[in-house]
Structure 1
Amino acid sequence: MKWLGLLYLFLSVSLQFGGVSSKNQGHEDSAATRTIRKELGDPPEVHCSRERSKAAWKIIQEYLMPFVEKERYQISRTCKLHPDNDLYRDQEEHKIQVDLNEWQCGYCKKRFYDDKFLDKHFDNRHYNLLNVSHTRCLADVCGALHCDLEMDSVPPKKTKCNPAAAARNQHLCEGLADSCFPVKQGPAASRLHEFFLRQFCDSHTCTGRQKPFSRGRRKKRASISYLVISILTLALLFLFYSYIYMYSRGVKRGTQELKRVTPIRRKKKPS
């Protein structure tokens, strides 16, 4: 009975330790965090959503930048869509995905099993690297870029459209088109201005006729080397299977010819 009691005590302590370890995964040691905050001071109050900034960045990269690059157009830094206006851009570029469920901090090399815990790590340990002296937040343009569609993991439920909110987002969207792609700057800017209106702004209505991202995303062209290799591979496969077919057909025909040949009978020697 004494051994059973000790075994039960050992298992209880092990389970409690495992629970505490899994609970603490993803956030900082409280003592270390307090030490850093004592040295650097309390983190500044940031009124900028990291999640919405991520969604805006993803939309810009997928639904806008491929077309901008195609036109070889340089977005001005005064444009709110420019990477310099993303408060969290430097931190996002210091994220290293080691494996499917393993992320590493590019500043201190600490590892986490989820991206959201790395975000918390940035908030606790590297908040001093955020440049909050300038008012810049990519999440501020989310209303124009339809970030809610990107952030919803499931199809959003149909809600009653708010005409005032739609008009406000459309005004913001048209302002981005005017400031980022001024028509007076030339043909490329004029084409991108028109594209931006069709891609993002026209859908800010309560009619539901126009869908966001109606121009889609530009598909990357396959490289010439990839096409050449693919064609050669298909040609070799065709030749290989043709050879196998002809060979098997020839063997079958040869077998049939052998069957038709009458066997030569030996003459019996006279006794």
Structure 2
Amino acid sequence: MSQNPSKASKNLRLRGLLSRNRMVLMKYIVPEKEVGAAWQIIDDYLMPFVEEEGYQISTDCRLHPDNDLFRDQERHKIHLDVNEWRCGYCKKSFRAERFLDQHFDNRHYNLLNVKNQSRCLADLCGALHCDFVINSNLLKAKCNPAAAVRNRHLCESLANSCFPISQGPSARRLHELFLRQFCDAHTCSGKAKPFPRGGKKQTNLLYMATSILLMMLLPLFYLLYYLYQRDMKQETQVLRRVSQVGRKAKPS
């Protein structure tokens, strides 16, 4: 039984459309470093203050996890070792992160967060100072005034949408903090630096090593102190005996 030519042609066009859409999606190359840097900056230099205020970021804010096209994929990246990455969906291992990203594009593209108006967080890297995290030496490069103005405008729009001052004291404080933490540095004057308010307290290896060393030396200190006190006590007793013997031997 032959297939209706018009129906066959329609199915062919449909398959071609789906194929082209898939190729467009797969060719949407996302700079993996920028996406990772953006989330690192948000987690380290913004969220500690948001959590301290007990503030809930609205889904209208582009920094909300639900608005990131690749957030779920980023969460399913498992970094086991320097040269070993694992897919959290199917547990397949890869030698480098870029191969894992290619695997996501080829095998798990259907799991992208395409609901609503999800977009790539790397689009906000200009406002969030991703270059500072990726390579701080780039800050020494010649400043582009037009880019600084554009990034500052984007930064201020994020502050307005994520922390509307009409939402109360917490939102006003976070709005002010966001401007100081991220937006003020978008200038060619060189006076302001990104993240002046600091961020998440990172574990300092030197501090840990010093603490462990002190814990190991503390018992030794007490032992030496005990021996010193014991010797001093013994010397005192000897001196007393010598003094008593001297008094007894003294002629009357």
Q: What TM-score results when the alignment is normalised by the length of structure 1?
A: 0.66
Aligned to 1:78: 60
Per the alignment, residue 159 of structure 1 pairs with 141
1:252–1:102 distance in 2 versus 1, CA, 3 Å: farther
2:93 counterpart residue number? 111
C-alpha displacement of 1:196: 0.4
Structure 1 match to 2:185: 203
In structure 2, C-alpha distance between the alignment counterparts of 1:52 and 1:122, rounded to whole Å: 17
For the pair 1:172 / 2:154, whether they are aligned, the reply is yes
Q: Residue 51 in 1 paired to residue 33 in 2?
A: yes
For structure 2, the residue ranges without an aligned partner over 5 or more in a row are 1-17, 204-210, 243-252
CA distances 1:199-244 after superposition (whole Å, capped 9, x unpaired)? 11111111111111111114379xxxxxxx99xx687565333224
Aligned equivalents of 1:135, 1:123: Cα separation in 2:
17
Amino acid at match of 2:156: E
For residue 193 of structure 1, report the CA deviation from its aligned partner.
Answer: 0.4
2-side partners of 1:102 and 1:58: how far apart? 20
Rounded Cα–Cα distance in structure 1 between residues aligned with 2:99 and 2:233: 66
Q: 1:100 to 1:246 in 2, by over 3 A?
A: farther
Q: Give the drift of 1:194.
A: 0.4
Structure 1 residue 145: Cα displacement: 0.7
Q: 1:204/1:112 Cα in 2 relative to 1: closer, same or farther (>3 Å)?
A: same
Aligned 8 A contact 1:95 1:106 in 2: yes
Between the aligned partners of 2:88 and 2:220, the Cα distance in structure 1 is 46
SS at match of 2:86: strand
Aligned to 2:7: none
Match in the other structure for 1:139: 122
Please give the secondary structure, in 1, of the residue aligned with 2:79.
strand
Q: Secondary structure at the match of 1:55?
A: helix
Matches of 1:93 and 1:205, distance apart in 2:
33
In the aligned structure 2, how far is the partner of 1:165 from the partner of 1:87? 25
Cα contact 1:199–1:212 (8 A) shared by 2: yes
Q: Which amino acid in the other structure matches residue 159 of structure 1?
A: A
Q: Residue 90 of structure 1: CA displacement?
A: 0.8
Say if 1:246 and 1:58 are closer, same or farther in 2 by CA, change over 3 A: same
Give secondary structure in 2 for the equivalent of 1:97.
strand
Relative to 1, partners in 2 of residues 1:220 and 1:112: Cα closer, same or farther, differing over 3 Å?
Answer: closer
User: 1:43·1:128 contact (CA, 8 Å) conserved in 2?
Assistant: no
User: Which structure shows the higher helix fraction?
Assistant: 2
Distance (Å, rounded) in 2 between the aligned partners of 1:128 and 1:237: 61
Q: Deviations over 1:138-188 (max 9, x none)?
A: 111111111122222x62273332222111111111111011001111111
* Secondary structure, aligned partner of 1:155: helix
The aligned residue for residue 223 of structure 2 is 240
The 1:240/1:79 distance shift into structure 2, 3 A limit, reads same
Of 62-71 and 156-165, deviating more is 156-165
Partner of 1:93: 75
Residue 142 (structure 2) pairs with residue 122 (structure 1): no
Q: 1:123–1:252: structure 2 CA closer, same or farther, 3 Å change rule?
A: farther
Q: Would the aligned equivalents of 1:66 and 1:217 in 2 still touch at CA under 8 Å?
A: yes
**TM superposition score normalised by structure 2:** 0.71
**Aligned-CA RMSD value:** 3.3
Q: After TM superposition, give the deviation of residue 132 of structure 1 in Å.
A: 3.4
- Give, in angstroms, the shift of residue 82 of structure 1: 0.8
Does the CA contact (< 8 Å) of 1:63 and 1:216 recur in 2? Answer: yes
One-letter identity of the residue aligned with 1:212:
P
Equivalent residues of 1:53, 1:86 under 8 A apart: no
Change (3 A) 1:181 1:235: same
